[in-house]
Chains A and B, each alone.
Chain A
Amino acid sequence: MNERSQTLVAYLGGELSADQEQTLEQQLFAGELDGGDLTDLANLTIGLREAAFLGILSVQVSRGEMERIRTLGYRILECRIRAGVETVLDISGDFDLIFLEFEMDLTGATRIDCEVCDHLGNVIKRNLDLPFSPDQKVVSGFCARELALTGVENNPEGMMNRWISVEPGGERIIGEFRTRAILPE
């Protein structure tokens, strides 16, 4: 990234002082920062936020972030999912996003992966090296309702998330979380 892009990213992250921010905004509207990288970064920011709202930017989102999203007016369906049992998700209601909380014990884990599987346990996709803290008891994530509906249509018999601890001696399954959805009529 060039210096201008770095400054704009710092601006987005709130790293500039009030004076620096004011100066940058004056330069911005005077056209002094115009160019392809300004357009690119503006597009990237909006695109990534949209991807985050759709649940395709990353698997994980904290409860705090979810609460902030709720204050923006989004309707959220919350589900708590436990390992070893099938959780039925009723997605027939009127909402925008699904917030899922997977209960698990991460004690001793140093790296965790998550496999998204069909109902037979065949891996569809594996997410590598998810950030976590060892004292965490719940890992949460969300996705948009439309995305969930597509997932259910492709896997009508249910899906499974397999969480794996990757350790020096091999891999250990932390838990397998099965879900089956009830669709709108």
Chain B
Amino acid sequence: MVDQPPTLPDAELVLLIRGGGESAKEAEEQLCQRMASRVRMYLARRHRDPYAVEDTTHDVLLALLEGIRQGRLDDPAKVGSYALGICKNKLREDTRREIRRHRALLRTGSDGPVEMALPRLQVGRLEECLLFLLERDRVLLRMIFCGGRSAVSIGEELGLKPQSVRVRRHRVIDKLRQCLGVGRYEAQR
């Protein structure tokens, strides 16, 4: 769960990738690592299925690298917008097909910068941390992260004010992140 500190701006990584060679490989890894969290966050807002998010993230990163290598990105400074555009296009694809493809991917597996760009939480570790929470808090986590529910909508269902939902939401996420040993970056700022 640890990000490498960014060394070069996105645009410079694009130029290195275009240049080819050994430095292009390293630049691809760095760009994928950096883009992966952005893409996953964007997709998580729209896809409820975790496997579809991971699958589509792989697709987006592959399409991004392919586009850069083949010179389809005119202005390296616009690599962020280019990646966002790819995300939007990918989202138009059929969700069912993505799930089926993901299942096939799970069986075959792959290496390379795209695979390395997706650090994963160990579900076993997460399960241990979830055991320390009240079921009420676990339900709240599911409503937020799996149901994409707003504080207002959760409050209506649980009979709470939106502000109280937000306070509980912050507490439970902090508790979970602390147990998982993440969030160290916030402490440093």
The residues of A with any CB-CB pair to B shorter than 8 Å are 1-2, 5-6, 8-15, 25-26, 28-31, 33-54, 56-61, 65, 68, 72-73, 127-131
Contact assessment for B100 and A73 in the assembled complex, using a CB-CB cutoff below 8 Å? yes
Tally of A-B residue pairs with Cβ under 8 A?
Answer: 190
- Distance of A101 Cα from B74 Cα, bound (Å): 56
Q: Which residue of B lies closest to A68 (CB)?
A: B48
Chain B at the A interface: SS class: helix
Contact assessment for B126 and A47 in the assembled complex, using a CB-CB cutoff below 8 Å? yes
Q: How far is the CB of B71 from chain A (nearest CB, A)?
A: 20
- Which residues from chain B contact A61 at a C-beta distance below 8 Å? 142
Q: Which residue of A lies closest to B53 (CB)?
A: A46
Contact assessment for B44 and A129 in the assembled complex, using a CB-CB cutoff below 8 Å? no
B145's contact among A44, A56, A59, A128, by CB below 8 Å, is which? A44
- Which residues from chain B contact A60 at a C-beta distance below 8 Å? 135, 139
Contact assessment for B182 and A51 in the assembled complex, using a CB-CB cutoff below 8 Å? no
Q: Mark B31-46, 1 if CB is under 8 A from A, else 0.
A: 0001011101110110
- Which residues from chain A contact B177 at a C-beta distance below 8 Å? 40, 44
Contact assessment for A47 and B142 in the assembled complex, using a CB-CB cutoff below 8 Å? no
Q: In the complex where A36-B2, A49-B50 touch, is A57 in contact with B130 (Cβ < 8 A)?
A: yes
B137-189 residues with Cβ-Cβ distance < 8 A to A are 138-139, 141-142, 144-152, 158, 169-170, 173-174, 176-177, 180, 182-186, 189
Contact assessment for A28 and B40 in the assembled complex, using a CB-CB cutoff below 8 Å? no
Contact assessment for A52 and B142 in the assembled complex, using a CB-CB cutoff below 8 Å? yes
Query: Number of contacting residues on B, CB 8 A?
Result: 66
Contact assessment for B127 and A39 in the assembled complex, using a CB-CB cutoff below 8 Å? no
Query: Mind listing 22 A-B residue pairs with CB under 8 Å?
Result: A2-B189, A11-B45, A14-B149, A15-B152, A29-B83, A31-B10, A31-B38, A34-B37, A39-B1, A39-B119, A40-B185, A42-B37, A45-B41, A45-B44, A47-B50, A48-B126, A48-B141, A52-B142, A57-B141, A57-B146, A73-B96, A73-B100
B136's contact among A28, A41, A131, by CB below 8 Å, is which? A131
A28's contact among B2, B42, B123, B189, by CB below 8 Å, is which? B42
Contact assessment for A36 and B184 in the assembled complex, using a CB-CB cutoff below 8 Å? yes
Q: Which residue of A lies closest to B82 (CB)?
A: A29
- Which residues from chain A contact B37 at a C-beta distance below 8 Å? 34, 38-39, 42
- Which residues from chain A contact B34 at a C-beta distance below 8 Å? 31, 34
Contact assessment for A13 and B120 in the assembled complex, using a CB-CB cutoff below 8 Å? no
Contact assessment for B44 and A40 in the assembled complex, using a CB-CB cutoff below 8 Å? no
B70-99 residues with Cβ-Cβ distance < 8 A to A are 80-81, 83-84, 95-96, 99
Q: Which residue of B lies closest to A38 (CB)?
A: B37
- Which residues from chain B contact A15 at a C-beta distance below 8 Å? 150-152
- Distance of A38 Cα from B41 Cα, bound (Å): 8
